[in-house]
Each structure stands twice: as C-alpha cells, then as structure tokens.
C-alpha cells in the first residue's frame, strides 16, 4: 500500500474541548486512561497496512509532537513513518491553517510524492475502528475522483453533520453542511432508507448520510482542487462545489463512531468504554490500539471495590476505596476510603520523589493524586492534580468553589491540569 499516503489533520484549536485543550492540542487529549486520541487514526492506518502517515499540527502541539516521537518508530527498511508537518510561515504565505483543506494545501510541497496514487485524509479527534482498505476498495471500484466515508444518522443528529444525498450507484448528488430543518433535508439531501438497507446496513428509519471526515482522493484530483481554488474547508466548501464537477462517491460505514469535539462527547465516550457491553472494544487483538510503551508497574489495589471501570497501569489505590463506572488513568495515587463514581481521572505524568513528598508535607501541599476520604462523582480530573483529604467534587451539587480552574463545561465539572484543591474543598 505504498501508493497511499495518509494525512491526519490535528491542527484545530479545540475550543469546545476546553479546558482539556488548555495545555495540549485536541488529538493529544488522553483517552481511556492510557491512550491519546491521536492513537486511534494512526492505529487504524497501521492495522490497515498503511504505514506512510503525515500529521498536520498547529495549536498547543508540543505534547502531541513528544507523544508521536516517543511512540511511532519504524524499521528503516520498510519505508514506514509517522512524520509531523507543523504549521509554519513560508515565503509563499505567512498565515496559519485556515481550515482542513487549507492545511493540506499549505503542505502540498511535502505531500506531492510522484509515487502516490491516493491520499487518505483523516480527522485526528474521532473514536472508531475502521479498515481503510475497504474505503479504498470502494473508491477504486466506483472509479471515483474522491470518496467520502458516510454514516447513516437520524434527522435529529443530522443537524450536527455535513449531510449528503446519493443516487442509486452511490454517487454523491447533494451536499449540505448541518441542515437545520426537515424541509432542507427533504428537498436537498435525504437518502432513501431502502437504498441503505440494500447495501447490507439496517437503516432503522435513518434517512441521512453524515460526513465522517474521512476522505480518499485521487492524487491529481486533490492537487487540482486545492491549487485551482482558495477553498478553506473540505466539508463546507470543497465537496459542496466538487460534486458538480467531479465523480464523488460515498462509502457506507455503520460501526461505532464518535466525534470527540466537546467535553460532553469526550466524557460520554470514555464512560461508555467502562460498560460491560461497551459499544467500542479496546481489547481487539486483530486491530489493537497502539500507544507509547511506558513500562509502568502493575496497579496496586488494597481492599478496593471496583465495578465497571478501567484501571490503568502504575496506580496505587488505598484500602476501603470504591470505584464505579469510572476511568482511572496512569500513575493515579488514590487514598483510603475514596469514593469515585462516573468520573474520569487522567492520572499523572510522573511519580513524585520521596524528598519532594516530604518537603510538600511540611509546606502543607497535598501530593499529586486524590486524598483520603474524598468523593468524586460525574467529574473529569485532568493530569497532575492535587486533591487534599476530604475533597468533594460532585456533579450532583451546584458548583460553589472559588478555584477558577474548576469549571463546568457541557454540564460536566472539569478540574484543569495541575490544579490544587486543599483539604476539605467542596464543589
């Protein structure tokens, strides 16, 4: 598959995911306790036999770059790579990426490989498992200039998607970004559910096909579209215009797929992973999720009750603690008699030394972790936070604390990275 070049878009500000994106880019946000969101599209590529991958970055990208550098190393003889293309000012232009299409355009000099026949364009902020060989096969068989991965959605969900209408052959004949009324859907982009059923996917009344942000382009087509226009965004501009002049097809997908663009979607996706019948399975030996190998010790649990939860490596959890429906990240230190429910703890980047702990104890500073007797319910605790003894952060009660780094986003209480909450702090 050396004639396919994968391009992962990772340059957005991630404002809707703030404060989790205060110090990191959206693709670098931890996922399921031990991964980063960026590991999903890269793992999908590698599991699909695609090992030539460029990552386009821009905002808060230092931790993302570090993760890529430490994780994805290839044998020099197989020609594989995951290479970062950071936004930069050049003699041709001084502006930053203005959208998804513009990001690719500004990197065409690096991407324009004569040995490439197809470009696979991917988003860096989605949770799903896909064999990209299938969309490439659809693309080749249809003789398309470009192919869009499409997922059937309800009319209610359609308001958050780019929606496309296809003909009987699967060619895209209409494209509308985030339609807001039934009239717009019926007149412009409705797809007959019977057509979806005929493709082996149960429509279940869904009559809209949502743009998943996964595209295949023929090499010459992509270069032409970007060099002969000033379109900034694939979904908003490139496809609505190109369906008139080019052969654009849809590739149907009906597996689990979640766009992790908001604090609520991030929270829901993580909590869903803790459920006994999780809609997305992490333990798939045929298509594993790759990430940085940290060589941490096993987690130590002493008289702890755990139900429907994910416990990452290197944790120490004290006697009498109860954890339910939660994600516990790397290196979490949790004291005795702590109750954690429906929460996401991202853990810590490092272990504190004995001397640092002794000094902080004298100074009255809580160590990194969760102090004895604390209660967490329905919250997100970012990395390297210090919660003292008897702290109560609960989404079941109004937020009254005065710490500016404890905020409510999408109805979820988020404790920002590196925040200290003293003994007895109450939300």
pLDDT in tens, 172-212: 999 998 999 999 999 899 999 999 999 999 999 899 999 99
Q: How confident is the model at residue 75 (pLDDT cuts 50, 70, 90)?
A: confident
Both 54 and 202 in one domain: the answer is yes
Residue 279 lies in a domain: no
- pLDDT reported for residue 13: 77
Residue 193 lies in a domain: yes
- pLDDT reported for residue 265: 95
Residue 59 lies in a domain: yes
Residue 385 lies in a domain: yes
Pairing relationship of beta strands 369-370 and 386-387 according to DSSP bridges:
parallel
If one compares 329 and 97, the residue with the highest pLDDT of the two is 329
pTM: 0.93
Q: What is the DSSP string of 215-277?
A: EEEEHHHHHHHHHS-----IIIIIHHHHTTTS-EEEEE--S-EEE--SHHHHHHHHHHHTSTT
Both 240 and 331 in one domain: the answer is no
If one compares 388 and 399, the residue with the highest pLDDT of the two is 388
Residue 387 lies in a domain: yes
Instruction: Name the residue with tokens 């390297």.
Output: 384
Comparing CA positions, the residue from 165, 194, 159 lying closest to residue 177 is: 159
Both 158 and 100 in one domain: the answer is yes
Q: How confident is the model at residue 245 (pLDDT cuts 50, 70, 90)?
A: very high
Domain count for the chain:
2
Both 258 and 308 in one domain: the answer is no
Residue 170 has pLDDT above 60, yes or no: yes
Boundary of a domain, candidates 223, 258, 273:
273
Mean pLDDT of 230-237: 91
Domain of residue 324 covers: 300-421
35-59 burial: b if 16+ Cβ within 10 Å, else e: bbbbbbbbbbbbbbebbbbbbbbbb
Question: Residue ranges of the alpha helices (H) in 279-323?
Answer: none
Both 313 and 245 in one domain: the answer is no
Q: How confident is the model at residue 275 (pLDDT cuts 50, 70, 90)?
A: very high
Both 240 and 325 in one domain: the answer is no
On whether the CB atoms of residues 370 and 333 are closer than 8 A, the answer is: yes
Both 260 and 321 in one domain: the answer is no
- pLDDT reported for residue 346: 98
Mean pLDDT of 21-25: 92
Mean pLDDT of 225-231: 92
Boundary of a domain, candidates 220, 255, 273:
273
Q: CATH number of the domain that 349 lies in? A: 2.160.10.10
Both 172 and 249 in one domain: the answer is yes
Comparing CA positions, the residue from 416, 340, 415 lying closest to residue 371 is: 340
Both 22 and 75 in one domain: the answer is yes
- pLDDT reported for residue 402: 55
For the chain, the average pLDDT equals 93
Residue 182 lies in a domain: yes
- H helix or E strand, kind and range, residue 31: strand 30-31
Mean pLDDT of 310-320: 98
Both 242 and 346 in one domain: the answer is no
Both 173 and 212 in one domain: the answer is yes
Mean pLDDT of 34-43: 97
Q: CA–CA separation, 417 vs 22, rounded Å?
A: 8
Both 269 and 305 in one domain: the answer is no
Residue 288 lies in a domain: no
Q: CATH number of the domain that 116 lies in? A: 3.90.550.10
Residue 295 lies in a domain: no
């Amino acid at each position: 598959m050396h004639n396919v070049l994968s391009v992962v878009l990772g340059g957005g500000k991630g404002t809707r995911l703030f404060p989790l994106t205060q110090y990191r880019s959206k693709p670098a946000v931890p996922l399921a306790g031990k991964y980063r969101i960026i590991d999903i599209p890269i793992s999908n590529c590698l599991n699909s036999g695609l090992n030539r991958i460029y990552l386009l970055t821009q905002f808060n990208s230092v931790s993302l770059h570090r993760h890529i550098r430490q994780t994805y190393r290839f044998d020099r003889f197989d020609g594989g790579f995951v290479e970062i293309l950071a936004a930069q000012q050049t003699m041709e232009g001084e502006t930053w990426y203005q959208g998804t299409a513009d990001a690719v355009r500004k990197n065409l000099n690096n991407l324009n490989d004569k040995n490439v026949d197809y470009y696979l364009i991917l988003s860096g902020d989605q949770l799903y498992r896909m064999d990209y060989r299938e969309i490439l096969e659809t693309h080749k068989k249809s003789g398309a200039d470009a192919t869009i991965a499409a997922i059937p959605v309800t009319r209610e969900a359609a308001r958050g998607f780019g929606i496309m209408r296809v003909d009987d052959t699967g060619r895209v004949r209409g494209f509308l970004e985030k339609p807001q009324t039934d009239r717009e859907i019926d007149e412009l982009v409705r797809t007959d559910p019977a057509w979806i059923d005929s493709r082996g996917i149960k429509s279940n009344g869904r009559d809209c096909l949502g743009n998943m942000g996964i595209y295949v382009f023929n090499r010459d087509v992509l270069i032409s579209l970007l060099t002969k226009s000033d379109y900034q965004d694939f979904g908003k501009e490139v496809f609505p215009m190109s369906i008139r002049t080019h052969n654009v097809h849809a590739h149907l997908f009906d597996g689990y797929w979640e766009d992790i663009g908001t604090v609520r979607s991030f929270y829901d996706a993580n909590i869903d992973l803790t459920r006994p019948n999780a809609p997305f399975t992490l333990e798939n030996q045929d298509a594993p999720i790759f990430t940085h190998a940290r060589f941490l010790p096993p987690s130590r649990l002493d008289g702890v009750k755990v139900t429907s939860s994910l416990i990452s490596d290197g944790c120490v959890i004290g006697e009498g603690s109860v954890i339910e429906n939660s994600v516990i990240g790397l290196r979490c230190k949790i004291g005795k008699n702590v109750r954690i429910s429906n929460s996401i703890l991202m853990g810590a980047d490092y272990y504190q030394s004995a001397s640092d702990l002794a000094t902080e104890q004298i100074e009255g500073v809580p160590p990194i972790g969760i102090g004895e007797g604390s209660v967490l319910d329905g919250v997100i605790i970012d990395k390297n936070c210090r919660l003292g003894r008897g702290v109560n952060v609960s989404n079941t009660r109004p937020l009254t604390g005065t710490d500016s780094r404890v905020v409510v986003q999408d109805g979820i209480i988020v404790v920002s990275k590196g925040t200290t909450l003293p003994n007895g702090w109450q939300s």
